[in-house]
Amino acid sequence: MSAKHDDLVNLIRLYLSEIGAVSVSVDTPGLLYTRDGRPAKFGTKGALDIAATFKGRAIWIDAKTGKDRLKPAQVKFAVAQERAGGIAFAAWSVDDVRARLAAEGLL
């Protein structure tokens, strides 16, 4: 991830903490190798960058920069989260997060 992306993730998480939400950064899926050389996958394909809880709602946010958009696996993940009652979306700024939370009636 780029420094600009990481900065946006941190700004969003700071904003979430300021309004009383609890959040964690979600590691992107990857592959590592055990000590004996066996591959081991970790992470959930399509998971968004930030998982948060605010006023009893699960919130998933993917920080985007430039012209970046949700990838197909991320769209599938977001749809599943929303179907389960959560909120899942991409944000290019803290203002995007604020607007979405307001639209959901959380602010």
**pLDDT surpassing 70 at residue 1:** no
Condensed to tens digits (0 to 9), the pLDDT of residues 12-57 reads 999 999 999 999 988 776 777 888 888 887 777 788 999 999 999 9
Q: Quick check: 10 and 4 in contact, CB under 8 A?
A: no
**Rounded mean pLDDT of 1-15?**
90
pLDDT at 80: 94
The pLDDT > 90 percentage for the chain reads: 73
The per-residue DSSP string of 36-100 comes to TS-EEEES-TT--SEEEEETTEEEEEEE--TT----HHHHHHHHHHHHTT-EEEEESSHHHHHHH
CATH number of 3-103: 3.40.1350.10
Task: Give Cβ neighbours of residue 27 (< 8 Å, ≥ 6 apart).
Answer: 42, 43
Q: Which two tokens stand for residue 39?
A: 């591959």
